[in-house]
Amino acid sequence: MNDKGYALVQGNEACVEGALAAGMRFFAGYPITPSTEIAEISSQKLPKLGGKFIQMEDELASMAAIIGASLAGIKSMTATSGPGFSLMQENIGYAAITEVPCVIVNVQRGGPSTGLPTSPAQGDVMQAKWGTHGDHPAIALTPNSVQETFEYTVKAFNLAEKYRTPVILLMDEIVGHMREKMAFKNISEIEIINRKKPACKPEDYVAYKPDKDMIPPMASFGEGYRYHVTGLTHDETGFPTNSNEVSEKLIKRIVDKVEKNIDDFSYFEEYKLEDAEIVIIAYGGVSRSAKSAVDELRKQNIKAGLFRPITIWPLLEKQINKVSLHAKEIYVAEMNLGQYSLEVERAACKNCRVKKINKVNGELITPEEIIEAIGGNYEL
Amino acid sequence: MNCSEITNQYYRVNRLPHIWCAGCGHGTLTNTVVRAIDKLKLNKDEVVIVSGIGCSSRAPGYLDFNTLHTTHGRALAFATGIKLANPKLHVIVIMGDGDSSAIGGNHLIHAARRNIDITTIVFNNNIYGMTGGQFSPTTPYGDLATTAAYGNIDKPFDLCSLAQGAGATYVGRATAYHALLMQKLIEKGIQNKGFSFIEGLSLCPTYYGRKNKKGNPFKMHSFFKEYCIDKKLVDKDPEKGINKILIGEFYNNPQPEYIESYQVIIDMLQG
Amino acid sequence: MKKYEIRLSGSGGQGVILASIILADAAIEQGLNAIQTQSYGPEARGGASKAEVIISNNEINYPKITKANILLSLTQKAYDKYIASLDKDGTLIVDEGIELSGNEPIKVYKLPILKNALDKFETNMVANIISIGAIYELIGEDILDKDIMLRSISGRVPPPTVQKNIEAFEEGIKLIRGYYE
């Protein structure tokens, strides 16, 4: 660490540091490139803090184990990449309907299937939103640097705890594997949010009765509140129901508790947007190329700017709509065949043209490619 | 305790009646779990019952403990997380035959391999009951099921041998008829500091029994009475075991438990 | 200072990724900005391995190299693959066993990296650190403090090999200094 408190850290390592700072004391995972360092470092660091790491038999089990640990009161995380993320979907839905806080890290690589294990991609953007079946809430955050990976891992835990929902940290191989400087902050300076616990006596506890904020207080197993948890649609007592009315109310509540609070966690970066006519929208690793492209385009007197969503789900509709009111053209640059651009188009409400810059060959989109797509001249 | 005392103390009475068919063995088996817990005087607040999906997996909902009804096959993986997070809890997993050995087979062998202190109880009725009578990994060869219309050509698992081979340190089998034995095995399983596996042969008169003309619940219970023999008797006289189903305690060999081994590492690192 | 875009290439197991980490680490400790990235195939040993370090006193956004101004190639395969990405005014460092294509820039250092690793240190494991010595000599002490470099090496190589690696680093410096003598 240098005298300013910076050290060279890898993105995946920063994720673990953030998780530990947020209070993670349980990690379950299965090795998969390019996320494996997160499991390795967790296995080294957790027992030193009295926490536990377990390498499960697969990602289905990893996801299940972190939900179990969270129900017993321990902040828990798993980390994976595409194929493992697919396997986790079933139990991500379980965590959503049973409202169990947990964090799932997906360091994206090329897909579909085994795809390009060591190369970056952003093809899981829609899966992060709609991967599990049924209507459900989704919070996903996309850091674009090592420093942000630390900070947004902390935020992922805080949001999971606050809203009692699984939160996805949607990284990519670029951010996960690159090393750059990171400031080690004093843990006491970091805001940590813990789940709301019941204030009532066990006999008065109605496990899934929400407070006014739509979120029910959560007791841990073993604390004397003997309640029932099921992935079946349930009423406020937590027991299964076939009631149409109760079912509708439950699903709407678990979605609303997240979507109606979007202002609480709308994280984004605006770069040279004030007078921008050309706006690039990019997230994760690609946003770094986009920022370089904006600087280069500005040198060519092209009024370019960058809007970078960090909260990628739920969609930052309000902010994107505002951008579309001032822009002539929006270019959505992403390492997939145009998943987020359709969402941007929806939020832009035809206020301006939305164009796509896509790449799925396992390489990061370059600033040059963005500049060319926009019609500028690329000079080194 | 008599029946109604047991019911009032350990069941969520307002959740009854249960959804199981008349004649189903699951109610009796659930009761053996409850009676074993009562016998051991476990603190209800420290008992967690975890299940997967299927008929058997509805059991925890009726029981007044910390109860978790998970996804199909994954109960043991959830239970592993709970036990690691809070080793003080007594974690008991109830699964069905398809739940534990088809969709959840991988989780079963790995939980057994780790010898994590979880008591697993399988209600084996040889069929997928909840979905209407499809063959499971324990449906006998040649039997009929809605997805084995011409006779089952899959060979069945011996679940106890599977669990023992995978590393379970306490293994036994009883039936819904041999309820007292079942209760005893569960008690010893809970007391075993490690992975315990108890198979409870159940019966499904509605699907398996009717489809295979095995008769009414009474006849199916009589079958257990007639064809099951305690392993101890067969050990003395192997001839007695011919064409019989073995029940009783099969394996009791305590080994270092997973979380205790992990705690040694934590203690070492924390000095 | 100018922006250094350094590409280190070789085969898996030669330690070019560790070399790039040591360089980036030293740059950060120096108070500069640095980004290290890598690409690799499925092989833990053999196969192509490439690592990149960008060092600058400005913010670094795009984390990859567009045109390298220093290229290190320890294998023929790596040289053939990456020589085109080297800036015309850049510097090439290659192992002496590599056959040059004729497209190389003016500044070329053909060094006995692999040979000296074996002859002087009895292990090819230090070829990466000899390479860092050579690269360091090109970047210069006015950009990166030598003590910081040595600390970075000591902190990143296996503890029993620290002394050997420091000597290997000095060997790399010597190879550049003595090159035109």
Residue A77: give the domain boundaries. Answer: 1-265
Instruction: Quote the CA–CA distance of A123 and A338 in Å, as a whole number.
Output: 9
Residues A187 and A225 in one domain: yes
Residues A108 and A150 in one domain: yes
Q: What chains are in contact with B, requiring at least 3 Cβ pairs below 8 Å?
A: A
Task: Name which of C40, C61, C85, C149 to mutate to probe chain A: the one with the most chain A Cβ atoms within 10 A of its Cβ.
Answer: C61
Among A104, A163, A168, which Cα is nearest to A141's? A168
Task: Using the predicted structure, report yes or no on whether residue A340 has a pLDDT greater than 90.
Answer: yes
Give burial (CB, 10 Å; 0-12/13-18/19+) of B15. Answer: middle
- Asked, for residue A380, whether it belongs to a domain, the answer is no
Q: Of the candidates A265, A280, A305, which is a domain's last residue?
A: A265
Segment B192-217 mean pLDDT: 96
CATH number of the domain that residue A257 is part of:
3.40.50.970
Residues A109 and A233 in one domain: yes
Residues A259 and A277 in one domain: no
> Considering CB atoms only, which of A1, A177, A291 is closest to C61?
A291
Interchain CB contact of C36 with A (< 8 Å) = yes
What pLDDT shows up at residue B89? 98
Q: What is the dihedral of CA B103, B106, B109, B111, to 10 degrees?
A: -100
Q: Of the candidates A241, A265, A289, which is a domain's last residue?
A: A265
Residues A290 and A260 in one domain: no
CATH number of the domain that residue B251 is part of:
3.40.50.970
Task: Using the predicted structure, report yes or no on whether residue A380 has a pLDDT greater than 70.
Answer: no
Question: What confidence category does residue A379 fall into, taking pLDDT thresholds of 50, 70 and 90?
Answer: low
| Cβ–Cβ below 8 Å for C35 and A368 | no
> Considering CB atoms only, which of A117, A118, A289 is closest to C62?
A289
Interchain CB contact of C61 with A (< 8 Å) = yes
> Considering CB atoms only, which of C24, C62, C66 is closest to A8?
C24
Residues A184 and A294 in one domain: no
> Considering CB atoms only, which of A74, A91, A232 is closest to B85?
A74
Please check whether residue B226 is in contact with residue B243, taking contact to mean a CB–CB distance below 8 angstroms. Answer: no
Work out how many domains chain B is built from and give that number. 1
Interchain CB contact of C66 with A (< 8 Å) = yes
- pLDDT tens digits, A259-279: 999 999 999 999 999 999 999
Question: What confidence category does residue A3 fall into, taking pLDDT thresholds of 50, 70 and 90?
Answer: confident
Interchain CB contact of C58 with A (< 8 Å) = no
Task: Count interface pairs A-B at CB distance under 8 A.
Answer: 136
Query: How many CB atoms neighbour CB A255 within 10 A?
Result: 18
- Of A88-102, A118-132, B4-18, C30-44, which gets the smallest average pLDDT? C30-44
Residues A3 and A125 in one domain: yes
Residues A166 and A281 in one domain: no
Please check whether residue A291 is in contact with residue A271, taking contact to mean a CB–CB distance below 8 angstroms. Answer: yes
| Cβ–Cβ below 8 Å for C36 and A4 | no
Which residues are CB-neighbours of A76 under 8 A, at least 6 positions away?
A24, A25, A26, A27, A28, A65, A66, A67, A69, A70, A102, A103, B81, B85
Instruction: Quote the CA–CA distance of C138 and C146 in Å, as a whole number.
Output: 13
Residue B88: give the domain boundaries. Answer: 3-270
How close C36 gets to chain A, by Cα (Å)? 5
- Asked, for residue A330, whether it belongs to a domain, the answer is yes
Residues A8 and A142 in one domain: yes
Task: Report the Cα B53 to chain-centroid distance in Å.
Answer: 13
- Asked, for residue A2, whether it belongs to a domain, the answer is yes
Residues A186 and A274 in one domain: no
In the structure encoding, which two tokens stand for residue A95, read together?
């965590």
How close A212 gets to chain B, by Cα (Å)? 26
Question: What confidence category does residue B1 fall into, taking pLDDT thresholds of 50, 70 and 90?
Answer: confident
Work out how many domains chain A is built from and give that number. 2
- pLDDT tens digits, B119-166: 999 999 999 999 999 999 999 999 999 999 999 999 999 999 999 999
- Asked, for residue A289, whether it belongs to a domain, the answer is yes
Residues A17 and A159 in one domain: yes
Task: Name which of A24, A228, A232, A236 to mutate to probe chain B: the one with the most chain B Cβ atoms within 10 A of its Cβ.
Answer: A228
Pairing assessment for the beta strands B245-252 and C46-56 based on DSSP bridges = unpaired
What pLDDT shows up at residue A173? 97
CATH number of the domain that residue A338 is part of:
3.40.50.920
Among A335, A327, A348, which Cα is nearest to A283's? A335
In chain C, the domains with their CATH numbers are 4-177 (3.40.920.10)
Task: Name which of C25, C29, C60, C62 to mutate to probe chain A: the one with the most chain A Cβ atoms within 10 A of its Cβ.
Answer: C62
- Asked, for residue A284, whether it belongs to a domain, the answer is yes
- Asked, for residue A379, whether it belongs to a domain, the answer is no
ipTM: 0.97
> Considering CB atoms only, which of C28, C36, C61 is closest to A292?
C61
- pLDDT tens digits, C33-72: 999 999 877 777 777 889 999 999 999 999 999 899 999 9
Task: Report the Cα A335 to chain-centroid distance in Å.
Answer: 17
Q: Of the candidates A249, A265, A281, which is a domain's last residue?
A: A265
Q: Strands (DSSP E) along chain C, which ranges?
A: 4-12, 33-40, 46-56, 68-73, 86-95, 107-111
Residues 93-122 of C with CB under 8 A from A: none
Residues A133 and A73 in one domain: yes
| Cβ–Cβ below 8 Å for B262 and A231 | no
DSSP A316-375: -HHHHHHHHHH-SEEEEEESSSSHHHHHHHHHHTTSSEEEEEE--SSSPPPHHHHHHHHT
3+ Cβ–Cβ pairs closer than 8 Å linking C and B: no
Task: Name which of A8, A272, A298 to mutate to probe chain C: the one with the most chain C Cβ atoms within 10 A of its Cβ.
Answer: A8
